[in-house]
C-alpha cells in the first residue's frame, strides 16, 4: 500500500494551479445521463472519484472518453439502470445517478451507500424529494428502487434540512419533470450553481441556483453540450492553509475567490495578507506564525466542513487557542487522534474541539482516515520536525490531484512510497 512521506522544510513559495472541483464534477458527470446526445465536460480533475464515476457510467452502458482534462459522455447507449454496491460503497456520490436515471428512464436501482468514517450520512432527503416529484421508491435488500409511470411531476418541495446531495439529485430529476418544481431550503454551495449552469447549457430551465429557492421549469429533453467545471475551492483552501502554516507566500491560480469568503476571512484572521486578482489568490504570511482561529462549520456560505480538518492542523501550531465546532457530520474529528501523535494539544468534547497551539510538532507515522483528514496530516507534516509517514493515502487520491507534485513545486519535501 502506498504511503506519503513529508519532512518539514520551511516556508512554501510559488504558484499552484487549482484543478476542477471534485464536488462539482461528480454530480455533473451524473447529470450527463439526462441528455440525449454526447456531453463534453472540461477542466475535469484527475481523481480516483472521477475514475469511479466513469466506471459507473460505463457500467450503465454510457460511452465515456477521457482526453487530457476533457471527458465526453455519450448517454445514448445506456441500457442498465442499476448502480451496484461495489461502486457505490467506494464513492457515496454514486447515489447521484438516482435522480437522472429515474427522470430519464422511469426507473433506477441504486445501492444504498451506507455509512462512512465521517458519519452515518443517510439518503432519506434524496428519497423524500424524489417522492415529492411522484416517484415510487422502495428500499429493499440494500437497494433504493425507484420508478415512475410516465414523467415525474413538478412539485413544491421543502427540504427538511440543507443537503448538498439531495438538492443535486432532486434538481437533476426536476429538469425532465412535467411542469414546475420549486425547491425550498435548497443547498447554496457553488457546486450546485455549477451543476445548474451545466444543466442549463444542456437546455434545462433553472432559476435561483445559489439561493435557498430553486425553480425548475421541466422540459421534455436535454440536448448535448459542453461545460467547464468550476475551480475546487477546497483544494484552493488546502494550499492556502499550507502556505499560512509554513509562514510562506504563494499564489493559487485558476481559482474562484468569490466562492471562498468564509475561508479567506479565517485566513486573514490568522494573520495572512490576502490579495485577489480575478482568478488568482495571493497569500503572504511574511514568515509569521499564524494566530489561532475559531471555526464553526455550517452550510454555504458559512465555513465549509471540508476545510475543518485543515484549519485544525493550522490551530495545532498557531499562537493561542482555537475552538472548532463541527455541526455537519457527527464523526468528523477522526484526524484528532493522529494529530495528537504528532504532538498536538487537542481536547474533544462532543462536536467541539479545543486546540491549544504548540511551538513545534514532531514527525511520526500516522494513518489517514478520510479525505480531508489525510490533507490535515500532510499540512501538519509540513511543519513537523523530521519525517511524517502517512498511511492509507487512497483517501487522498479520491479528491486531490497530484497533491505531492503540486506541494513539491512549492518547495515542500514530500514523496510517495510503495
Ligand X SMILES: CC(=O)N[C@H]1[C@@H](OP(=O)(O)OP(=O)(O)OC[C@H]2O[C@@H](n3ccc(=O)[nH]c3=O)[C@H](O)[C@@H]2O)O[C@H](CO)[C@@H](O)[C@@H]1O
93 binds ligand X per the rule CB under 6 A = yes
Pick the closer one to ligand PEP by CB: 246 or 376. Answer: 376
Chain centroid to CA 278: how far?
A: 23
Pick the closer one to ligand X by CB: 199 or 412. Answer: 199
Cα(200)–Cα(188) distance, rounded to whole angstroms? 17
Could you tell me which of 42, 43, 41, 45 has the C-alpha nearest to residue 29? Answer: 41
Q: What single string gives the DSSP state of each residue in 26-86?
A: HHHHHHGGGBSS-EEEES----HHHHHHHHHHHHTT-EEEEETTEEEEEGGG----EE-HH
Pick the closer one to ligand PEP by CB: 87 or 409. Answer: 87
266 binds ligand PEP per the rule CB under 6 A = no
Cα(181)–Cα(318) distance, rounded to whole angstroms? 48
Cα(116)–Cα(334) distance, rounded to whole angstroms? 11
225 binds ligand PEP per the rule CB under 6 A = no
Collapsed DSSP state (helix, strand, coil) of residue 319: strand
Cα(35)–Cα(128) distance, rounded to whole angstroms? 24
The nearest distance, CB 5 to ligand PEP, in angstroms, is 23
123 binds ligand X per the rule CB under 6 A = yes
Residue 119: which of ligand PEP, ligand X, none does it interact with, CB under 5 to 8 A by kind?
Answer: ligand X
Cα(138)–Cα(34) distance, rounded to whole angstroms? 22
372: phi then psi, degrees, rounded to nearest 5? -80, -25
**Number of C-beta neighbours around residue 211 at 10 A:** 12
Residue 343 C-beta-side C-alpha neighbours within 13 Å? 16
Residue 97: which of ligand PEP, ligand X, none does it interact with, CB under 5 to 8 A by kind?
Answer: none
Pick the closer one to ligand PEP by CB: 176 or 371. Answer: 371
* Selected binder of ligand X within 14, 122, 287, 365 (CB under 6 A): 122
- Residue 55 CB-density burial (10 A; 0-12 exposed, 13-18 middle, 19+ buried): middle
| Residue 316: active-site member | no
Residue with smallest beta-carbon separation from ligand PEP: 306
Chain centroid to CA 230: how far?
A: 12
66 binds ligand PEP per the rule CB under 6 A = no
Pick the closer one to ligand PEP by CB: 24 or 144. Answer: 24
- Residue 77 CB-density burial (10 A; 0-12 exposed, 13-18 middle, 19+ buried): exposed
Could you tell me which of 203, 178, 201, 225 has the C-alpha nearest to residue 75? Answer: 225
Residue 297: which of ligand PEP, ligand X, none does it interact with, CB under 5 to 8 A by kind?
Answer: none
Pick the closer one to ligand X by CB: 126 or 266. Answer: 126
Residue 265: which of ligand X, ligand PEP, none does it interact with, CB under 5 to 8 A by kind?
Answer: none
Residue 399: which of ligand X, ligand PEP, none does it interact with, CB under 5 to 8 A by kind?
Answer: ligand PEP
Binding mask 345-384 for ligand PEP (x = CB under 6 A): --------------------------xx------------
Annotated binding-site members for UDP-N-acetyl-alpha-D-glucosamine: 92, 121-125, 306, 328
**Which among 143-151, 161-169, 236-244, 351-359 is the span making contact with ligand X, rule CB under 6 A?**
161-169
399 binds ligand PEP per the rule CB under 6 A = yes
163 binds ligand X per the rule CB under 6 A = yes
Q: Long-range contacts made by residues 164-167, C-beta under 8 angstroms, separation at least 24?
A: 164/23, 164/189, 164/191, 164/192, 164/299, 165/92, 165/93, 165/95, 165/96, 165/123, 165/126, 166/123, 166/125, 166/126, 166/129, 167/192, 167/214
Which residues ranging from 329 to 348 are in contact with ligand X (CB under 6 A)? 329
30, 116, 198, 316: the catalytic one is 116
Binding mask 101-130 for ligand PEP (x = CB under 6 A): -----------------x------------
56 binds ligand PEP per the rule CB under 6 A = no
Interface with ligand PEP (CB under 6 A): 22-23, 92-93, 118, 306, 371-372, 399
Write out the catalytic residue numbers: 116
Residues that bind ligand X (CB under 6 A): 23, 26, 92-93, 119, 121-126, 161, 163-166, 187, 305-306, 328-329
Amino acid at each position: 500500500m502506498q504511503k506519503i512521506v513529508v519532512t518539514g522544510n520551511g516556508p512554501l513559495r510559488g504558484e499552484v494551479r487549482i484543478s476542477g472541483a471534485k464536488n462539482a464534477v461528480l454530480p455533473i458527470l451524473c447529470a450527463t445521463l439526462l441528455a440525449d446526445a454526447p456531453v463534453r465536460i472540461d477542466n475535469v480533475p484527475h481523481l480516483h472519484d472521477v475514475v469511479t464515476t466513469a466506471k459507473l457510467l460505463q457500467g450503465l452502458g454510457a460511452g465515456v472518453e477521457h482526453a487530457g482534462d476533457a471527458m465526453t459522455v455519450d448517454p445514448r447507449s445506456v441500457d442498465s439502470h442499476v448502480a451496484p454496491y461495489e461502486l457505490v460503497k467506494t464513492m457515496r456520490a454514486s447515489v447521484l445517478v438516482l435522480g437522472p436515471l429515474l427522470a430519464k428512464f422511469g426507473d433506477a436501482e441504486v445501492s444504498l451507500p451506507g455509512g462512512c468514517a465521517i458519519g452515518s450520512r443517510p439518503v432519506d432527503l434524496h428519497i423524500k424529494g424524489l417522492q415529492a416529484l411522484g416517484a415510487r421508491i422502495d428500499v429493499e435488500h440494500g437497494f433504493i428502487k425507484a420508478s415512475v409511470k410516465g414523467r415525474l411531476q413538478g412539485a413544491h418541495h421543502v427540504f427538511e434540512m440543507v443537503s448538498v446531495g439531495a438538492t443535486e439529485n432532486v434538481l437533476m430529476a426536476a429538469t425532465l419533470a412535467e411542469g414546475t418544481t420549486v425547491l425550498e431550503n435548497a443547498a447554496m454551495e457553488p457546486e450546485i450553481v455549477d451543476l445548474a449552469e451545466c444543466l442549463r447549457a444542456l437546455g434545462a430551465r433553472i432559476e435561483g441556483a445559489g439561493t435557498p429557492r430553486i425553480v425548475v421549469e421541466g422540459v421534455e429533453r436535454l440536448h448535448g453540450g459542453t461545460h467547464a467545471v468550476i475551480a475546487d475551492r477546497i483544494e484552493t483552501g488546502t494550499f492556502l492553509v499550507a502556505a499560512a502554516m509554513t509562514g510562506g507566500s504563494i499564489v493559487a491560480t485558476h481559482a474562484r475567490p468569490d466562492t471562498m469568503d468564509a475561508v479567506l476571512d479565517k485566513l486573514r484572521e490568522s494573520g495572512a495578507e490576502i490579495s485577489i486578482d480575478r482568478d488568482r489568490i495571493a497569500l503572504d504570511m511574511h514568515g509569521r506564525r499564524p494566530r489561532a482561529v475559531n471555526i464553526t462549520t455550517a452550510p454555504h456560505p458559512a465555513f465549509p466542513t471540508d476545510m475543518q480538518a485543515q484549519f485544525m492542523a493550522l490551530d495545532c501550531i498557531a499562537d493561542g487557542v482555537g475552538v472548532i465546532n463541527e455541526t455537519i457530520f457527527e464523526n468528523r474529528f477522526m484526524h484528532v487522534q493522529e494529530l495528537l501523535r504528532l504532538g498536538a494539544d487537542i481536547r474533544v468534547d462532543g462536536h467541539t474541539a479545543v486546540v491549544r497551539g504548540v511551538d513545534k510538532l514532531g514527525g511520526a507515522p500516522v494513518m489517514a482516515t478520510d479525505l480531508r483528514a489525510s490533507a490535515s496530516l500532510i499540512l501538519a507534516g509540513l511543519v513537523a520536525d523530521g519525517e511524517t509517514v502517512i498511511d492509507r493515502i487512497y483517501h487522498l487520491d479520491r479528491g486531490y490531484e497530484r497533491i505531492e507534485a503540486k506541494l513539491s513545486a512549492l518547495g515542500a519535501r514530500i514523496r510517495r512510497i510503495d
